[in-house]
Structure 1
Amino acid sequence: MASRQPARRWTVAACLVVIVAQGVALATITLRGDAREPHRVPLLIAAPAVVALSLSHDADAMSGTPFDATWTDDEDEARSEVLDGTVVAAVLVDLRKTQDVVLVNARTDGKLNDAVVDRVTAISASHDRTVTVQEVAGSGSARAASRVRWFVILSGLLGFGFVLGISLVRGPVAGAARLGMLRVLGLGVVAVAGAFLLQLLPWTRLPGDDLTIIGLGALYVFTMGAITLAVEALAGLVGLAAAAATYLVLATPLLTGTSHYLLPAPWPAVTPWMPTGAAQATLADVAYFGRGVDRPQLLVVTAGALVAVVTLVLARRLSGLSQGSGKVEAVPVRHWQLRVLGAVLPLAVLAGLVVAFVPTDVVATPALPSVATQTTCVDRGGRPRTVTELNDQIAHLQGTPAFQGADVGADAELGDGRFLVVFGDTLRSEDFDGPLFARNSMLLWDTDCVSVVLPPSQGALIPDRRDGVGYWPMSTAVAHRPGYDLVLVSAQRVRATGAGSFDFANLGPSLAVFVVAQGGTPQLISVRDIGPDDPKRSRPEWGAAMAVDDNWLYLYGTANPDTEGVFGFSLQVARVRPDHVLDASAWRFWDGSTWQRDARESAQLVAAVEGVSQTLSVFHRGDRWYALSKKDGDLGDQMAFWTAPRATGPFTPTEPVADLPADQDTGAITYMPLAHPQIFPQPGTMVTSYSNNNTDPQKIKEDPTLYRPTFLRVPLPR
């Protein structure tokens, strides 16, 4: 008798621990401030690859990780995955317009759909876009999530309730193997009958194949009952209490009518791998989403049943009952009933409190900072018609404090006839409402206006990294699409190393992607660094020049061997489809005979000795390819062309077409010749430009017009 008292005390203490553990687990749902926010909701972005990849990354990077985003460039695939429940929602991005379509399934939890739409709307608004919601499910969608939820709740309660009832009537743990087998067989009969009844009743009936739904329901009933039998066999009253607590905790999303995606971590990750969550997902797939039985989810429920049955057998063997007298120590049924009710009722009360007090309203998303750019007209002189007029316009462009002086000047012709020009280190006037210096900027030429393009920050259009590294444009390329253009801007990653104009380190190339709707403002979609930061000039600067031909984007890379006396750069080439330019695995490099994956095997199209500048232009005209640069790098003083029969070379230098010497007396320097094939085209000639600067920063500060590109027309070699 004395030995029973400590055992009973231990049992009571263990049950109290179970109750407290359940209370703590449920409190995380009711008390956590983010309990009503979505977590890792499957979201699909449907857009051209180069845009979709970036937008999915932005969705994943949102505070609180509301989305687990993927992307596709196939709108039909997006609709299909929403319809069959593979994803909760999909965003169809139409770059020709400023409105996106959010696809949701009416059979999914309504509050979850609202939460997803709210957050997608916030993302779109930050890009100055709007959304419209479209439901893709057909008839029979009303209360779909609720019907599945109640079917699973009642199935789980049936399995647990059968064991609880047997335990209350017959006491804990069958006294003989034969009686234990009867309990398992009885559970199986109740499982089938219960699932059949649930499918028969009009308020719990699910659409779809009746036999499949009854089979899945019966499997889940049996699993929950078998697990309860197993833990009761292992730990008696404590096991029964633990089974009740575990079921009530795991069923919280069902009991509260809340999607597990709206509960805090680890619920979104854990729920699908538990029998309750797996049964709910599988029944929803069969009843409403038309996906058939999901094998991994079916395996989760089946594995739970198998493990429980094996545990029952092992528990009997370990306790020695199968080899002993076939009887267990008698426990008065009345005492056992009181113990069971004393352990289970507090658990049920706790669960009821959770159902009553769990917040059901979804937290609204605060407005996100705008990243949409705006244009301001700074010159009403209209579009120039000659090189002389263009130089005059550049020299006298004083209409805005946002642009006083800059270098580079790489241009792109848009599908609607407009031109945009990107500049490097840009000076602003003292009265400019923003940073007085930006690593990059953009001007937009229309028929009657020259506009400056500014982001909300008023700083660099391609914003600096958080560590202060900025982006210095090198080249542009355009992929024309119906109703919009994809504008690619290659850039150098630049870190300041001192206060002087030439105190900087080049850390490697990057790519920026702009979308420009017809007649619209260029909008930055993505910035991607290519490779790790590396200040060595011997690694290729991919994107030093870019060209689009036959739906291929050619990216030319330049490298200097860091050898004494070698001032020029070698030239290599890679190619990729424009829509996949941000996917490094899609790049292929020319090794002299074929395209292959390894950048280290890329062949030199131009040698570094008497080679090109670090930044140059490569373009296609007629049946020839041309490269334009300074001979022997930017320290050279002659502008020249290299010609080739194809994009992969071999490139042969031609006679210089212009002298661009530095002036040691005034400190004036010239560098970075660029070609502009789309500006004022004339047979046999080419409009080119070069950047101007001065070794004395004070002179530039006093007269910013000394720090602007100059355009000239030169003969094109045959």
Structure 2
Amino acid sequence: MPSRLLSLLACTAVSTGLVSAVPTGTADARACSNSGTGVPIPIINKLLPRGGSPIGPQKAMPAYDHGGTKTISWVTGPKSPNRTFGRFGISGTDVGVAWDNGRGQTLMAFGDTFGNCLAPAQQWRHNVLLRSTDGNLSDGLSLSGRGYAGEMFGAVGVEGVEKTAIPTAGISIGGKQYVNYMSVRAWGPASVWYTNYSAIAVSNNNGRSWYTPQNTIRVNAGITIPVPASWPSFQAGDAKFQQSAYAKGGGADSGWVYQYGTPNGRFGAAYVARFRPGDILDRGKYQYWDGRTWIVGNPDVARAVVRGPVTELSVSWSPYLNRYVMLDSPRGVLMRTAASPQGPWSPPRRVAPSNLELYAPMMLPNSPALRGTGPELYFNASRWEDYNVMLVRTTVRR
């Protein structure tokens, strides 16, 4: 891929600074996800993940309380307690990758986002960032602030070149924020999409602005070409790390950060790499699990730690369990646990049924199970029919 095109595709945009909230009067604003017929054009291009009809209005949150899992409340959308349409100009969004910013605030990165259906381009944004200081999730997840949520980083916006840029993982290291994202070239059939590359966006100001170091780009070319360390990476194994999850090591693994990777789409296996926190931007120091040991600098050797299909996933160390926890959602929301980051991982336990139509389960860092204070594990989960994110609680088992 020509370097000028890479520079264009990796271009990161303006800040997430919040400005005045969108007007909510019926004469000049209408929530796309609450309009009945106003399905946004970008959503039509993004084929349904599991079949079915295009999205319609956001409905009442589906009530589910069974087997230790319970839906708590909408996080986003006009019908959420957070009223994100009026406060942030968000009527529909998904993903909600969550991490602690290092000072007790939860940051959440969302994917493709739209707002006012009557505004130009339906106020489409490729991604947005929201914040929370809510320490008690039992009654819902409260968002902080108000004002129109701008894009974190941009994308070309052209199908077949770069349709969008979607966050898949986030972590705070040394007072800086790091988001791993994928550059989506085009949407394919259901649960299939094609990426140009994945990369790391960095923020020095708690998410108000972002930039992408070129040497963090993993080009999805399927070939290995030796290049200088400062260039984007062309290694066949980079295809295994187009979508990610970060987990800080716990127990004997303290002092390491683990990056779980999957290929683009929802059908690949999961792989794992590790690095020291200070080396997050130096891909030459990453170590990859080859099935027996850790190999430095070569993603080609990575072997699957969980067989596919693995979808958008999140992974965290649970002091309560003294084990790692993994969530994904190929057929309902599945949970696996492991004593070591590389596994072996337990057989999956279904914690939410497929008929809830949830995807992208992203754990909340202030869950009791992740702080060692109880078995409750909270996660954001997206629902396609409403194209919004809800809060779900489940319990982990010792």
TM-score range (shorter-chain normalised) is: 0.5 to 0.7
What is the match of residue 283 of structure 2?
Answer: 584
What is the match of residue 551 of structure 1?
Answer: 255
What letter matches 2:327 in structure 1?
A: L
Larger radius of gyration: 1
What is the match of residue 194 of structure 2?
Answer: 505
Matched, 1:672 2:356: no
Q: Give the structure, 1 or 2, with the largest relative contact order (CA under 8 Å, sep 6 or more).
A: 2
Which structure shows the higher helix fraction?
Answer: 1
Q: Which runs of 5+ in 2 are unaligned?
A: 1-6, 8-12, 23-69, 135-142, 224-235
- Shift of residue 676, structure 1, vs aligned partner: 1.8
The 1-side partners of 2:147 and 2:302 are apart by 39
Instruction: Provide the alpha-carbon RMSD of the alignment.
Output: 3.6
Matched, 1:494 2:196: no
What letter matches 2:302 in structure 1?
A: S
Query: 1:624/1:377 Cα in 2 relative to 1: closer, same or farther (>3 Å)?
Result: farther
The 2-side partners of 1:452 and 1:475 are apart by 24
**Aligned with 1:595 (options 283, 290, 294):** 294
- Shift of residue 501, structure 1, vs aligned partner: 9.7
Instruction: For residue 496 of structure 1, give the secondary structure of its aligned residue in structure 2.
Output: strand
Instruction: For residue 210 of structure 2, give the secondary structure of its aligned residue in structure 1.
Output: strand
Contact 1:506 1:535 in 2 (8 A): no
The 2-side partners of 1:692 and 1:601 are apart by 35
**Aligned with 2:391 (options 701, 708, 711):** 711
Matches within 5 A, 1:310-389: 371-376=14-19, 388=72
Matched, 1:540 2:220: no
The 2-side partners of 1:586 and 1:453 are apart by 39
Matched, 1:530 2:207: no
Query: 1:474/1:524 Cα in 2 relative to 1: closer, same or farther (>3 Å)?
Result: same
- Shift of residue 440, structure 1, vs aligned partner: 0.9
| TM-score (norm: length of structure 2) | 0.65
- Shift of residue 395, structure 1, vs aligned partner: 6.6
Contact 1:670 1:690 in 2 (8 A): yes
The 2-side partners of 1:508 and 1:525 are apart by 16
Instruction: For residue 544 of structure 1, give the secondary structure of its aligned residue in structure 2.
Output: strand
What is the match of residue 618 of structure 1?
Answer: 315
What is the match of residue 514 of structure 1?
Answer: 203
Matches within 5 A, 1:123-134: none
Query: 1:656/1:430 Cα in 2 relative to 1: closer, same or farther (>3 Å)?
Result: closer
| TM-score (norm: length of structure 1) | 0.38
Instruction: For residue 219 of structure 2, give the secondary structure of its aligned residue in structure 1.
Output: coil
Instruction: For residue 600 of structure 1, give the secondary structure of its aligned residue in structure 2.
Output: helix
Query: 1:412/1:516 Cα in 2 relative to 1: closer, same or farther (>3 Å)?
Result: farther
The 1-side partners of 2:148 and 2:345 are apart by 36
Matched, 1:569 2:268: yes
Instruction: For residue 652 of structure 1, give the secondary structure of its aligned residue in structure 2.
Output: coil
Deviation track 1:328-380 (CA, whole Å, cap 9, x = no partner) reads xxxxxxxxxxxxxxxxxxxxxxxxxxxxxxxxxxxxxxxxxx9444124869x
Q: Which runs of 5+ in 1 are unaligned?
A: 1-60, 62-369, 380-385, 663-668, 695-705
What is the match of residue 302 of structure 1?
Answer: none
Query: 1:375/1:716 Cα in 2 relative to 1: closer, same or farther (>3 Å)?
Result: same
The 1-side partners of 2:276 and 2:153 are apart by 23
Contact 1:405 1:428 in 2 (8 A): yes
- Shift of residue 414, structure 1, vs aligned partner: 2.2
What is the match of residue 375 of structure 2?
Answer: 684
What is the match of residue 94 of structure 2?
Answer: 407
- Shift of residue 423, structure 1, vs aligned partner: 0.5
What is the match of residue 109 of structure 2?
Answer: 422
What is the match of residue 25 of structure 1?
Answer: none
What is the match of residue 90 of structure 1?
Answer: none
Contact 2:180 2:199 in 1 (8 A): yes
What letter matches 1:410 in structure 2?
A: V
The 1-side partners of 2:119 and 2:218 are apart by 35
Query: 1:449/1:572 Cα in 2 relative to 1: closer, same or farther (>3 Å)?
Result: closer
The 1-side partners of 2:144 and 2:99 are apart by 17
Contact 1:542 1:556 in 2 (8 A): no
